[in-house]
Structure 1
Amino acid sequence: MSTPARYRKPAFATTSHEDTLPIPRAPASTSEAKKELKAAVNDQAAKTSKGFSVLDILRVLGGLALLSAGLSYLSTSGTSMTWGYNAKWTRMREWKGLFKGQVTLTDAELLSYDGSDPQKPIYLALNGTIYDVSASPQTYGPGGSYHFFAGRDAARAFLTGCFVEDAVPDLRGVERMFIPVDPEEKADATPETIEAAKHRRAPSKGELKNRTAQEERTAKQKVVQGLESWHALFRGDKGKPYFKAGVVNRPNGWEKYLPERSLCEQAEKSRPVRKYD
Structure 2
Amino acid sequence: MASPEPTVRRRKPESKDSSASETEQALKRVQTLSSDSDDTKKKTAVQKQPKSKKKKSKAAEEEDDYDGWNIALDIVRVVSFLFLASCGLSYLVSNGETFFWGMSNPPKYLTKAYYKELIRGPLYLTPSELALYDGTDPNLPIYLAINWTIYDVSSNPRTYGPGGSYHYFAGCDAARAYVTGCFAEDRSPDMRGVEEMYLPLDDPNVDKHWSRQDLRELKTKEREEALKKVHDGLKHWVDFFAKSDKYRRVGYVKMPKGWPGTEPRRPLCETAAKGRKVRKIPGAKEE
Distance 2:221 2:140 in 1: 46
Deviation of residue 102 (structure 1)? 1.7
CA 1:157–1:215 in 2, change beyond 3 Å: closer, same or farther?
A: same
Give the deviation of 1:112 after TM superposition: 0.6
TM-score where L is the length of structure 1: 0.64
Tell me the alpha carbon deviations over residues 36-74 of structure 1, each in whole angstroms, 9 at most, x when there is no partner. Answer: 99xxxxxxxxxxxxxxxxxxxxxxxxxx99986454252
**Aligned position for 2:122:** 102
> What's 1:203 paired with?
210
C-alpha contact (below 8 Å) 1:133/1:234 kept by paired residues: no
2:177 corresponding residue in structure 1: 157
Within the candidate set 251, 256, 263, 2:256 is matched to 251
How many Å separate the matches in 1 of 2:270 and 2:122?
37
* Structure with a larger share of its residues in helix: 2
Which amino acid in the other structure matches residue 79 of structure 1? Answer: P
The separation in 1 between residues aligned to 2:186 and 2:49, in whole angstroms, is: 97
Residue 271 of structure 1 is matched in structure 2 by 276
**Is 2:99 aligned against 1:79?**
no
Counterpart contact for 2:147–2:238, Cα < 8 Å: no
How has the CA–CA distance of structure 1 residues 70 and 153 changed in structure 2, closer, same or farther, with 3 Å as cutoff?
same
With over 3 angstroms needed to count, the CA separation of the structure-2 counterparts of 1:125 and 1:258, relative to structure 1, is same
Unaligned runs of 5+ in 2: 1-15, 28-37, 60-83, 95-100
Letter in 2 for 1:221: K
- Higher-Rg member (1/2): 2
2:31 matched residue in structure 1: none
Q: Give the Å deviation of 1:103.
A: 1.2
**Is 1:218–2:240 an aligned residue pair?**
no
> In structure 2, what is the Cα distance between the partners aligned to 1:249 and 1:255?
12
- Give 1:188-199 correspondences, 5 Å limit: 198=205
CA contact (8 A) 1:78 1:92 kept: no
- Post-superposition shift, 1:220? 1.0
User: 2:241 is paired with a residue of what secondary structure?
Assistant: helix
Q: Report the Cα offset of residue 249 of structure 1.
A: 0.8
Q: Cα distance, 1:76 vs. partner?
A: 4.0
Q: Where do residues 111-150 of structure 1 align in structure 2 (5 Å cutoff)?
A: 111-150=131-170
RMSD: 3.7
Distance 2:58 2:167 in 1: 80
Q: Is the 8 A contact 1:162 1:267 kept in 2?
A: yes
Q: How many residues align?
A: 215
Distance 2:129 2:141 in 1: 13
C-alpha distance in structure 2 between counterparts of 1:272 and 1:27, whole Å: 107
Deviations 1:233-274 (A, max 9, x none): 32344x6x2222211011342111111111111111112443
Higher relative contact order, chain-length normalized (CA < 8 Å, sep 6+): 1
TM-score (norm 2): 0.62
Q: Note the 1:21-100 alignment, pairs <5 A.
A: 23-24=44-45, 25-28=47-50, 33=55, 69-71=89-91, 72=93, 74=101, 76-77=103-104, 79-80=106-107, 92=110, 96=115, 98-99=118-119
- 1:178: which partner in 2? 198
